Structure 1
């Protein structure tokens, strides 16, 4: 009888521990924040806290840049016209604006501007995104800058990718 109670308690404890584990997924893929990206992950999330830093990723990784924004002010995050990524980083689609969840009837709330990139080949590229009004020619807002170093996949990384 006592063994049965202990077994039930242990099983319940194991289920609770498993249920409390956090999920670190973006669009169903594993991810971590910018500069902490280990070799196992394929999606690297970059935010304002990475401003001015260098972030290292691997060939084939997806890079997601998320910057807080409030388009109701007229300001928006904008990539410079003609930005190419030098073949190192390739933009996937256009940048998107995702509104924050808000109560019905609330106006003037912000959201996030989101860009997705693919690390295509090894090299370094500087990504500068300006927060400004589209009709103004000068940079009156702020700028976000991050240097992205793309490393070539080595044998160890290829083996890890094959396992997952």
Structure 2
């Protein structure tokens, strides 16, 4: 079956530095394309100016890109309970990249005062469980949640 044609301008960026075999690149392109297609061109541009796409594509800086993405989504009012719910199973995933992404997302959510008050106990408990994770980035994101 042929792949759908995606008309995002960013797919043809000249400054894009991705390497073959980078699993983040395809996910980032899909996310960027979805945001572009649903009419959030302004959001795509803001994330581009802040270098969020580049951070997300790089496995070493992916967690920083997730935090930046979440902060922009929070300011835009685009974080929904459904998005949060869909990430919760990833927190305990055996796959490190899922744990890093979901923990970074939840840690950045803790920076929003309204979400922090409403979801503090549940998110606190979930993040506390990750404080002993074998992945140092996951542990770093847990600490970030408490510092905010």
The TM-score normalised by the length of structure 1 is 0.22
Structure (1 or 2) with the greater helix fraction? 2
Larger strand share, 1 or 2: 1
Structure number with bigger Rg: 1
Which fold has the larger relative contact order, with Cα–Cα distance below 8 Å and residues 6 or more apart in sequence? 1
Query: TM-score normalized by structure 2?
Result: 0.23
